[in-house]
Amino acid sequence: MYSTPYHGDKDLSQLSFLITGGAGFIGSNLVEYLLKYKAGKVRVLDNFATGHRSNIEQFFENPNFELIEGDIRDLDTCNLAAKDVDYILHQAALGSVPRSINDPITSNEVNVSGFLNMLQACRSQNVKRMIYAASSSTYGDSKELPKVEDRIGKPLSPYAVTKYVNELYADVFSNLYNLELIGLRYFNVFGQRQDPNGAYAAVIPKFASQLLRHESPLINGTGDYSRDFTYIDNVVQMNIKSALTENPEALNKVYNVAFGQKTTLNELVQILKSNLATYDPAIADIEITYGPLRNGDIPHSLASIDRAVNFLGYNPYYSIEMGLREALKWYALETI
């Protein structure tokens, strides 16, 4: 992983980073990248509500790694975690549209109040820059394709509301307090360390895990809904480029993080079956189950990545097919 460095010729050994939610899927991959390229300090803040110790335990013996077990809903904890760090990569959140529909209060407490705490900590601890995880759910009911950052619709779920509020708060804090903030609207990220279990598992690890157990995946709707599935390596690239960019025009903006390719759920299942059949030929014959649509789901998602390319030099390498070939090795090892 990460054989290509995304930090150019910058010496990371003189820099310190805080990754909130660092025991989660995206966060732990950021930790891996930074430690691989010898960052001076990599601190993780996580309460392990959705993250896993197994994702980061391989780093515990690294002298440049530090773990703070705590919750972003506590301001003192946020200030402690942000002390003496140059950059914050804020990944901590409660994801999932269905989870937010079932429990909007907790989603708001974590995603909005927790985010506000991190902004305040960034300000009070004189952090150079914070990169934060935004979401493609912000586009809501907009039917425009591809999705362009400056044109959004009405949010369709409490989760989408929380992520849009993050962007609004970031804009206010950048203007009032002169903070350097960049938001990354993730589009359906997948890859190694993504949890295939639980009620709110993302579709790719969930489907892959089910197929490997010879279970029939359930597609909500007819399977014609589409997504811009984005491999984790592309997301790591955007976080690193956003944190270290020296282009002043790139700051205090929101960027789509995607590959720029639309894939329907039916197409996704066929790609999964074809790839997984190399591990187990019986998977090719598993039937797919179809059920009712889920509340809050948007029909189609396809990103324009022009802004990221132009301002940050973003160059996503992994298409869904390339990413799945890498990710399925991990999913197969975890399931078999």
- Backbone φ and ψ for 90, nearest 5 degrees, come out as -90, 100
Beta-strand pair 181-186/254-257 = parallel
What's the CA angle centered on 21, arms 17 and 325, to 5 degrees?
A: 95
Among residues 33, 132, 159, 255, which one is catalytic? 159
Counts of helices then strands in the chain (DSSP H, E): 11, 13
- Name, in order, each residue with C-beta under 8 angstroms of 73's C-beta and a sequence gap of 6 or more: 109, 110, 113, 114, 117
| 200 in catalytic set | no
β-pair partners for 254: 183
Q: Are 238 and 257 in contact (CB under 8 A)?
A: yes
Best CA proximity match to 129, nearest among 85, 92, 163: 85
Could you give the CA distance from residue 142 to residue 151 in angstroms, rounded to a whole number? 8
The rounded distance, in Å, linking the Cα atoms of 221 and 272 is 18
Kindly state the helix (H) or strand (E) to which residue 43 belongs, with its residue range: strand 41-46
**Which of 129, 162, 151 has its CA nearest to residue 307?**
151
Under DSSP, is residue 178 helix (H, G, I), strand (E, B) or coil?
coil
Active site residues: 159
